[in-house]
A = this chain, B = another copy of it.
Amino acid sequence: MFGSFSLYFYGSVRYEGRAVGLLGPGKFLLLRKNDGSVSVHGGSKIPPRNYMGAGTKMHMNVQAGSGQMSFKRKKEIIWIEISQIFFMEKMDEWSEDEVLLRKTEKELVDKIFRNWPDYIDGEYDLIEKEYPTEYGPVDLVGFGPQIAVVEVKRRRATVSDCTQLRKYVEAFGASDVMGYLASPEIGDNASQYLEKHGYNWIHVTFDSVHELL
């Protein structure tokens, strides 16, 4: 548990680690959270300009509103030069609750799993979720006289999604393997890619939300 605070300051920020980044000088908002993570936010966009994951070690030497702060973690460092502080506020008992989400990919996977015959023709004796292959787990696999490999996306499907499906289909070897891409929507390019490679698209939609949550 770390001391959480927000700090609005004028200064510059240097990050060194996986990359090297320079920011400012300018006015930025620094957040330090309960888990020791740090983010430096600029006045636009959602993601922080600089950031560092949980468990940073903080050093600071600030007097009369100016000085330096640093945050370290493994082989990364954020170095902040502060020339003016506008405000600093503590966030006590900052909630670590997570968002309860609906309309996830998992929801679509479960829907197809429970209503398999509505989506896929043919005889299948066994259906597996998250079936492991050499190159990662497949969302759904059906086993019968032939094998059905199903990759599910919660958003409009792209060509990249098709190549992911293809990777899984090929992981099963040559025999009788059908490839299915399931999503609420699919782009034209992806659609053509599927056809070209003999795979099929499954149109799957989210059930209405009304209940729950």
Contact = CB atoms under 8 A, between A and B. Distances in A.
Interface in A147-161: 154-155, 159-160
B163 A49 contact: no
A103 B18 contact: yes
Given A33-B42, A42-B98, 18 more contacts: A6-B6, A6-B8, A20-B102, A20-B213, A26-B97, A34-B43, A34-B44, A37-B44, A39-B46, A43-B93, A43-B95, A44-B96, A46-B48, A46-B51, A89-B89, A135-B189, A163-B164, A163-B167
Interface of A: 4, 6, 8, 14-15, 18-24, 26-29, 31, 33-35, 37, 39, 41-51, 53-54, 86-87, 89, 91-104, 134-136, 154-155, 159-160, 163-164, 166-167, 189, 193, 209, 213
- In the A-B complex, the 10 residue pairs with the closest CB atoms: A26-B95, A43-B94, A19-B103, A35-B44, A20-B102, A34-B43, A22-B100, A21-B99, A163-B163, A44-B96
